[in-house]
Amino acid sequence: MVDDRDGGTGIGDTAESGVGPIVLRGTAASPGLSVGRAFVIDRRRIKTPKRHIADDEVQSEIARFDAALAASSDQLDRIKRKLAEKEGEDHFLILEAHQLILHDEHLVEPTRRRIREEKVNAEWALRKTVEEIKAVFDAIEEDYFRERRSDVDFVGDRILRTLLGVDTVPTLPPAGAIIVAHDLSPADTAHLHRAACGAFATDVGGKTSHSAILARAFEIPSVVGLDNITDHVGNGDLLIVDGMRGEVIIRPTPEQCEEYRGKARSHLHFMRELLANRDLPAETQDGARVRLYANVEIVEEVPTALDHGAEGIGLYRTEFLYLDRPDLPKEEEHFMHARGVLRRLYPYPATFRTFDLGGDKAAPFPGLQPEENPALGLRSIRLCLKERPLFKAQLRGLLRASVHGRMRIMFPMISGVGEFREAKAVLDEAKAELEKEGVPFDPKVPVGIMVEMPAAVMVADLLAREADFLSIGTNDLIQYALAIDRVNEHVGYLYHPLHPAILRMIRYVVDAGHAAGVRVGLCGEMAGEPMFSLVLLGLGLDEMSMNSTSIPVVKSVLRGAKLSVARELAEHALSLPTAADIEALVHDHMKERYPQDLLRAAGDVLV
Ligand code: PEP
Ligand code: MG
């Protein structure tokens, strides 16, 4: 969402203290623009007192610690209730994860033991335990675990504040304020969301951090990973947050404020107007119909998807269910989770991709060794097939849910027919078991694959004969076809979705799918870039699945298009020798036909 408010503090737009504007760049975590006053939340200043206790104080100190645990859990319950009043119950999971940490034996037992054996106060014992847990996470070279480390921090901070009787909830900022923090806990994010804040800007965090995920679900513009914004910003400083470019301008000039307020206003207006197409089909002027689906990571995003006109979920990244917790999801949880999603979406379909862990999403499975080359290692379907009991549990849960709506099951990173058959054999086993147990499921649930390996492209015709649908995952396909690690910023300059090799691959897969009579979709990030929409249409895709907020923009491009023209554009593009030639062609073609705002609404591609 775009916010054109100015923070409501009424202070003029000056470059205060004679300090000129500073531009900080981070990770664009949630799209939108906001101009407002900083509201700095410094959760790091709290000091932990250390005190030795007498033998006869041990029991009462442990009781004090236990009471603080219970009170902290009650606080989280209250936040959940307030959220439920406003948002429904979808945002609970993350707060529940914090409640689980709160009662985790690795936190509770060592703290009690320290009080007992080291004869120290509860605050100090807790601090030592939290440090110990964080050190374990620190030793793991994975962004994901570094982010989980901050969950332990937030929970520790909450208990500490409760023990000390210090506020656990930040004071609500004025509406429209820009929240600046080292990091935000999911509970903070939910709490701040109620204050209708303008944007978030944090030192740390990545696209998968919980705050980023919730910011997207709540449509609050957000830039994370800014490194040291808390060193540069004081309370009340004027800021501009550009959640599309991943930029924050600190103490902008009045001219910059004016410019961004103008941009924010027109962007807001523009996005609202686009939402008017929510219930209209993604149909070209000459009657070609494309299905626009949403990519979803957590259940909280489902309402956002529907609000933006998604006609279903084209990619449900179920691996997120495994990532935020000390244990692993069981069959029952898969069932309940999928059933909730299907019921909410009905009559639209939801495509559940089986867990795509490994690679840059480290699998939280015991006994897995770090790999030299994780992108080419034990990831995705390979991991599903290795961890069969976990895979089977997921498939059984999904199958049981399949009678509650329109489900599709999709296997990630399939290399060829052999691997696909192997995965389907596990699915058949799960079906046979359920049948024997008399548990209902949809025996005809469509089963498809992601085409994200060049090998799968080359055998797409063979795969299409045995799959109910194909979905091209260009994020990985580009990584593997052009040999560029998708998480390595040094080779980011080689990432060209319009590279002739990529376009030929898409065309090849579409033709192979259609020849076998199956639908072909695309669910990589490129599907959500309006600049690419016509080429993709012209290549013949039946479905495009993307970040929910891109749907109205892409739909607008498609509704203004003609399939015949898109086909010509795609043919012309396919005849050109270099990515640069194709980009120039597409850029000129699109700029001639569509307003600049529309083309850059989802980001800065080729604009
Ligand atoms: C892809 O690879 O294009 C894809 C959609 O899957 P993910 O980004 O989750 O790897
Ligand atoms: Mg992928």
pLDDT at 2: 29
Q: Is 197 annotated in the active site?
A: no
Q: Ligand 1 atom closest to Cα of 472?
A: 3
Q: Is 523 annotated in the active site?
A: yes
For ligand 1, atom 6, which residue shows the shortest CA distance?
473
Contact of 491 with 479, CB cutoff 8 Å: no
Q: Where do we find the tokens 């054999």?
A: 425
CA distance 603 to 530: 9
Q: Which of 315, 505, 543 to mutate to test the pocket of ligand 1 (most atoms within 8 A of CB)?
A: 315
CA distances from 141 to 155, 361, 397, 558 (A): 22, 12, 32, 42
Instruction: Write out the residue limits of the CATH 3.20.20.60 domain(s) in the chain.
Output: 276-601
pLDDT at 41: 85
**pTM across the whole model:** 0.70
State the Cα angle at 82 between 166 and 84, rounded to 5°: 145
SS3 307: helix
Residue 358 near ligand 1, beta carbon < 6 Å: no
pLDDT at 131: 86
Instruction: Write out the residue limits of the CATH 3.50.30.10 domain(s) in the chain.
Output: 22-44+170-273
How many angstroms does the Cα of residue 104 sit away from the middle of ligand 1? 33
| Residue 290, phi then psi, degrees to nearest 5 | -115, 140
Q: Which of 354, 449, 476 to mutate to test the pocket of ligand 1 (most atoms within 8 A of CB)?
A: 476
Residues 6 or more apart whose CB falls under 8 angstroms from that of 356 comprise 317, 318, 319, 379, 380, 412, 413
Residues 6 or more apart whose CB falls under 8 angstroms from that of 212 comprise 27, 29, 30, 205, 206, 222, 224
CA distance 459 to 148: 39
Half-sphere exposure of 601 (CA within 13 A, CB side): 32
Residue 545 near ligand 1, beta carbon < 6 Å: no
Residues 6 or more apart whose CB falls under 8 angstroms from that of 595 comprise none
Q: E strands, 487-557, where?
A: 519-522, 543-547
Residue 524 CA: which ligand is closest? 1
Superfamily (CATH H level) for 22-44+170-273: Phosphohistidine domain (3.50.30.10)
For ligand 1, atom 8, which residue shows the shortest CA distance?
475
How many angstroms does the Cα of residue 510 sit away from the middle of ligand 1? 18
For ligand 1, atom 4, which residue shows the shortest CA distance?
473
Catalytic residue among 197, 257, 384, 523: 523
- Amino acid, res. 461: D
How many angstroms does the Cα of residue 412 sit away from the middle of ligand 2? 7
Q: Ligand 1 atom closest to Cα of 524?
A: 3
- The size of the chain, in residues, is 607
Residue 297 near ligand 1, beta carbon < 6 Å: no
pLDDT at 5: 30
CA distances from 257 to 5, 239, 245, 250, 314 (A): 11, 9, 16, 11, 39
CA distance 466 to 419: 12
pLDDT at 7: 34
For the domain made up of 276-601, the CATH class stated in words is: alpha beta
Q: Give the closest residue to 5 by CA, choosing from 191, 253, 195.
A: 195
Tokens of residue 197, six digits: 């804040």
Residue 448 near ligand 1, beta carbon < 6 Å: no
User: Could you state, in chain order, the average pLDDT of each consecutive group of 10 residues for the chain (607 residues)?
Assistant: 32 44 86 91 69 85 90 82 64 76 88 91 89 79 65 83 70 87 76 82 73 74 89 91 91 94 85 90 97 90 92 94 80 97 97 91 80 90 96 98 98 98 98 98 98 98 98 94 78 86 98 98 91 97 93 95 98 98 97 85 58
Residue 452 near ligand 1, beta carbon < 6 Å: yes
Residues 6 or more apart whose CB falls under 8 angstroms from that of 107 comprise 101, 129, 130, 133, 152, 155, 156
SS3 42: coil
How many angstroms does the Cα of residue 230 sit away from the middle of ligand 2? 34
